[in-house]
A and B are shown apart, each in its own frame.
Chain A
Amino acid sequence: MNSEQLELTIGWLYPTLMSTYGDRGNVICIQQRLRWRGYKVQIMPLDQNSTIADIHSVDLLVGGGAQDRQQEIVMRDLRGAKAEALREKIDTGTPGVFTCGAPQLLGHYYEPAVGLRIEGLGLFDFVSVHPGLNARRCIGNLVIEVTAKRLAEELRAITGSPAYVIGFENHGGRTQLGQVEALGRVIQGLGNNGEDGTEGAFYQNAIATYSHGPVLPKNPFIADWLIQTALRQKYQESISLAPLDDTLATQAREAMFKRLRVNVPTALKL
């Protein structure tokens, strides 16, 4: 298929409410990597003004972090048929990346430091609890190795080596996984709760992570995996992506690995 005929629509969850810490970089990253390869790309904000049809029209989902008050506004809006539509998208394999506040909303619930428990969509089998205003925030550079089985295999097919994800975590809430598979194991940093060594979660084709950074520009193999998966879902055939020049991302990764004294392969072979 000619790449110029292909088009993906990125659904961006509540851009004005959930855009703390540069997470829109994930949207920019996917958008640019599609453009550079000659694909058409649309960005569809999914917010208070969106319809059910809007949610159904997207091929890829991106959600970022939010302050507690904004998170509540989101949850007041994201219920009923809207919540069902989003649930159906993720259940049927629409790929997505959800950072920090976004996965907290996709779990069973989030208990903020102050105020009432915020019920989530229950898509991911995990709960998130803020241990209180006096508890230390989990802040710092974060390195994980992807361990979610199918994702790890598919990423290895892209990079030729185990996938190490680099980012920056900054969260008060702690997440405890239920039956859902973890995204990866922590090599540097705290991850889900600072105790069990897990980071994030992986369900169908949805990635939940505490990794800001934003996560995609410095881990472009995940961006490409999302794109590939979205194209396969939409066009029902496997489409191989043209390689891009990721020298700067590689250099940024190498510099941080070196500083953290983390010895991992840094190749980004595509």
Chain B
Amino acid sequence: MPVAYQGEAVGKEIQVLDRLRLGFAVLTAKTVTFIVRSLRLGAASVLPGEIASRIQPQLLQLLSSQVQRGVILVAGTNGKTTTSLLLSTILERQGWQVAHNTAGANLENGLITALLESANLIGQLAVDYAILEVDENVVPNVLPAIQPRLILCLNLFRDQLDRYGEVDTISRRWGQTIATLPSETVVIPNADDPTLSYMGQQLTQKVLFFGLNEPEQYLDEIPHAVDSIYCPNCGHGLEYQGVYLSHLGDYHCPSCGFHKGKLAINSQDYPQILIGLYNKYNTLAAVLAAQQLGVDDAIICDTIANFQAAFGRAEELEFNGKKVRILLSKNPVGMNETIRAVNDVGGQTKLLVLNDRTPDGTDVSWIWDVDTEKLVERGGTLVVSGDRVYDMALRLRYSQQGDNGLQLIVEEDLKKAIATALEHTPEDETLHILPTYSAMLEVREVLTGRKIL
């Protein structure tokens, strides 16, 4: 395994001074974690990494290089957490030890904290794999230090442009940095995403595309929340044979001939985890990665069949004897897809919770890019809550095309909103909750009575 070998070589070259500083950094970080947790200040998913990397700036590199079989990096706007969880579950079922960062802690310090968790007191790491989900904008900064064995590029949608630049710029920066990695690095991009397909086609590394081969899943029309329908090569408009979701689909450029990358996996050969077509993509990415690492197909299929959702990602809970399913909805594409999934499974009551805190993005105008009309046209009962409850209610009001008996309930107080939504949920149905990120944590807190952060 060439990359793992390279990792060992780097590990042996660690100088005595570096080792001492590494040990001191790790010890400090572990102390911080201990204090934060024993004082119940939080989960300590970022701070220890921040402190330790001040003591040893090369920490990410020193830790990454010790991961026995290699680091797997998971990047993309949507699906990172679910894909990472599925892949780590598969690898653990194969008998490997896997380190993994907590959801949301996907900036550099969060990655370091995750690796530190698995390190002993002098900074030695004894895991087979580390699966790191990485914020899309941070990818170019951490790639050189991490030297991953596998890179999963799930998708690029518009998300929190208040923090970041543009989708085109991000994919270009990914491509430029990946190009500097060793030739044996395996890159697994989504072929259905034109910018990622283009990026993959330019790389000299080993590139394996995943994507859908299921024309019966085509949407009737291209949704509005679309970022990239222009050829990443020549700028001409792309021609779509069909769209699976957002700008993901089967396409080609009539001008320069650019087309979707050749799939290394047949999507029809595998079932999917959870609900929603977006989870089919997550499944395929994890499966292709697992195959590359030599996992038995039987283990892969069995893990898919028994998969338990990550926090709030199509997660199913029971509350007071009623079934609840939480579908994180944090950006236009994500929410279009959760609405599609909810409409597919049915049920007459939904709860929408819109917050505008830092992890959600402070700008809520994105809800006007969501096709909430598709949710409203089903009628039933819609309960809304969250910091920006009236903004969401206003969006829904403007989604109504004539009177279809829709009941819109506006409730500022989240606990009351949940209680009301449950009351309106018939015994044999599931209440679907569509929250933004911080709202999802709050909803879970109410439903499980526990904080997770």
* Beta-carbon nearest neighbor of A15 in chain B: B224
| Interface flag for B429 (CB, 8 Å) | no
Instruction: Give chain A residues whose Cβ lies under 8 Å from the Cβ of B166.
Output: 67-69
User: 1/0 per residue B162-201: CB within 8 Å of A?
Assistant: 1000111000000000000000000000000000000000
Q: In whole angstroms, what is the CA distance A35 to B369 when docked?
A: 20
> Given the known A-B contacts A21-B363, A32-B398, are A248 and B390 also in contact in the complex, defined by CB atoms under 8 Å?
yes
- Does B398 contact A25, Cβ atoms closer than 8 Å? yes
Q: Which 3 A-B pairs have the closest CB atoms?
A: A25-B368, A22-B368, A22-B365
- Does B161 contact A20, Cβ atoms closer than 8 Å? yes
Instruction: Give chain A residues whose Cβ lies under 8 Å from the Cβ of B168.
Output: 67, 69
- Does A248 contact B226, Cβ atoms closer than 8 Å? no
> Given the known A-B contacts A21-B363, A73-B235, are A252 and B394 also in contact in the complex, defined by CB atoms under 8 Å?
yes
- Does B369 contact A22, Cβ atoms closer than 8 Å? yes
- Does B363 contact A251, Cβ atoms closer than 8 Å? no
- Does A21 contact B398, Cβ atoms closer than 8 Å? no
Instruction: Give chain A residues whose Cβ lies under 8 Å from the Cβ of B367.
Output: 22
| Interface flag for A212 (CB, 8 Å) | yes
Instruction: Give chain A residues whose Cβ lies under 8 Å from the Cβ of B235.
Output: 73
Q: In whole angstroms, what is the CA distance A67 to B230 when docked?
A: 13
- Does B368 contact A248, Cβ atoms closer than 8 Å? no
CB distance from B235 to the nearest CB of A (A): 7
> Given the known A-B contacts A16-B226, A32-B398, A213-B365, are A248 and B393 also in contact in the complex, defined by CB atoms under 8 Å?
yes
> Given the known A-B contacts A21-B161, A139-B362, are A248 and B369 also in contact in the complex, defined by CB atoms under 8 Å?
no
Q: In whole angstroms, what is the CA distance A140 to B365 when docked?
A: 12
Instruction: Give chain A residues whose Cβ lies under 8 Å from the Cβ of B364.
Output: 168
Instruction: Give chain A residues whose Cβ lies under 8 Å from the Cβ of B389.
Output: 255
Neighbour of B363 across the interface among A68, A73, A170, A248, CB < 8 A = A170
CB distance from A247 to the nearest CB of B (A): 9
Q: In whole angstroms, what is the CA distance A240 to B369 when docked?
A: 31
- Does B363 contact A252, Cβ atoms closer than 8 Å? no
Q: In whole angstroms, what is the CA distance A103 to B158 when docked?
A: 22
- Does A28 contact B398, Cβ atoms closer than 8 Å? yes
CB distance from A145 to the nearest CB of B (A): 21
Question: A-side interface residues toward B, CB under 8 Å?
Answer: 15-16, 19-25, 28-29, 32, 67-69, 73, 137, 139-141, 168, 170, 212-214, 217-218, 248-249, 251-252, 255
- Does B365 contact A73, Cβ atoms closer than 8 Å? no
| Interface flag for B410 (CB, 8 Å) | yes
| Interface flag for B4 (CB, 8 Å) | no
Instruction: Give chain B residues whose Cβ lies under 8 Å from the Cβ of A249.
Output: 390, 394
| 18 residue pairs bridging A and B, Cβ less than 8 Å apart | A15-B224, A16-B226, A19-B224, A21-B369, A23-B365, A23-B368, A28-B368, A67-B166, A68-B166, A69-B168, A170-B161, A170-B363, A217-B368, A251-B390, A252-B390, A252-B391, A252-B393, A255-B390
Q: In whole angstroms, what is the CA distance A20 to B162 when docked?
A: 11
* Beta-carbon nearest neighbor of B226 in chain A: A16
Neighbour of B365 across the interface among A15, A168, A251, CB < 8 A = A168
Neighbour of A19 across the interface among B369, B391, B410, CB < 8 A = B369
| Interface flag for B366 (CB, 8 Å) | yes
Instruction: Give chain B residues whose Cβ lies under 8 Å from the Cβ of A214.
Output: 365, 368
- Does B365 contact A16, Cβ atoms closer than 8 Å? no
User: 1/0 per residue B361-396: CB within 8 Å of A?
Assistant: 011111111000000000000000000111101110
CB distance from B27 to the nearest CB of A (A): 37
- Does B226 contact A22, Cβ atoms closer than 8 Å? no
Q: In whole angstroms, what is the CA distance A251 to B226 when docked?
A: 30
| Interface flag for B229 (CB, 8 Å) | yes
CB distance from A135 to the nearest CB of B (A): 13
- Does B397 contact A139, Cβ atoms closer than 8 Å? no
Instruction: Give chain B residues whose Cβ lies under 8 Å from the Cβ of A19.
Output: 224, 369
Instruction: Give chain A residues whose Cβ lies under 8 Å from the Cβ of B398.
Output: 25, 28-29, 32, 217
Instruction: Give chain B residues whose Cβ lies under 8 Å from the Cβ of A28.
Output: 368, 398
* Beta-carbon nearest neighbor of B391 in chain A: A252
Q: In whole angstroms, what is the CA distance A261 to B441 when docked?
A: 27
- Does A16 contact B229, Cβ atoms closer than 8 Å? yes
CB distance from B233 to the nearest CB of A (A): 13
Neighbour of A21 across the interface among B229, B366, B394, CB < 8 A = B366
Q: In whole angstroms, what is the CA distance A241 to B390 when docked?
A: 24
Q: In whole angstroms, what is the CA distance A137 to B165 when docked?
A: 11
CB distance from A110 to the nearest CB of B (A): 15
Instruction: Give chain A residues whose Cβ lies under 8 Å from the Cβ of B368.
Output: 22-25, 28, 214, 217
CB distance from B24 to the nearest CB of A (A): 34
Instruction: Give chain B residues whose Cβ lies under 8 Å from the Cβ of A251.
Output: 390, 393, 410
* Beta-carbon nearest neighbor of B393 in chain A: A248
Neighbour of B362 across the interface among A22, A73, A140, CB < 8 A = A140
CB distance from A227 to the nearest CB of B (A): 15
User: 1/0 per residue B393-406: CB within 8 Å of A?
Assistant: 11101100000000
> Given the known A-B contacts A217-B398, A249-B394, A255-B390, are A22 and B162 also in contact in the complex, defined by CB atoms under 8 Å?
no
* Beta-carbon nearest neighbor of A133 in chain B: B165
Q: In whole angstroms, what is the CA distance A23 to B230 when docked?
A: 20
CB distance from A16 to the nearest CB of B (A): 6
CB distance from A254 to the nearest CB of B (A): 8
Q: In whole angstroms, what is the CA distance A248 to B389 when docked?
A: 10
Instruction: Give chain B residues whose Cβ lies under 8 Å from the Cβ of A213.
Output: 365
Instruction: Give chain A residues whose Cβ lies under 8 Å from the Cβ of B363.
Output: 21, 139, 168, 170, 212
CB distance from B436 to the nearest CB of A (A): 14
CB distance from B438 to the nearest CB of A (A): 16
Instruction: Give chain B residues whose Cβ lies under 8 Å from the Cβ of A20.
Output: 158, 161
User: 1/0 per residue B223-239: CB within 8 Å of A?
Assistant: 01010011000010000
Q: In whole angstroms, what is the CA distance A16 to B393 when docked?
A: 26
**Beyond A25-B365, A255-B390: 20 further Cβ-contacts under 8 Å?**
A15-B224, A16-B226, A24-B368, A25-B398, A29-B398, A32-B398, A139-B362, A139-B363, A141-B362, A170-B162, A170-B363, A214-B365, A214-B368, A217-B395, A217-B398, A248-B390, A248-B393, A249-B390, A251-B393, A255-B389
Instruction: Give chain B residues whose Cβ lies under 8 Å from the Cβ of A21.
Output: 161, 363, 365-366, 369
* Beta-carbon nearest neighbor of A67 in chain B: B166
- Does B394 contact A218, Cβ atoms closer than 8 Å? yes
Give the most central of B166, B229, B368, B390: most A CB within 10 Å. Answer: B368
- Does A24 contact B369, Cβ atoms closer than 8 Å? yes
Q: In whole angstroms, what is the CA distance A73 to B236 when docked?
A: 10
- Does B390 contact A137, Cβ atoms closer than 8 Å? no
Q: In whole angstroms, what is the CA distance A248 to B364 when docked?
A: 16
User: 1/0 per residue B292-325: CB within 8 Å of A?
Assistant: 0000000000000000000000000000000000
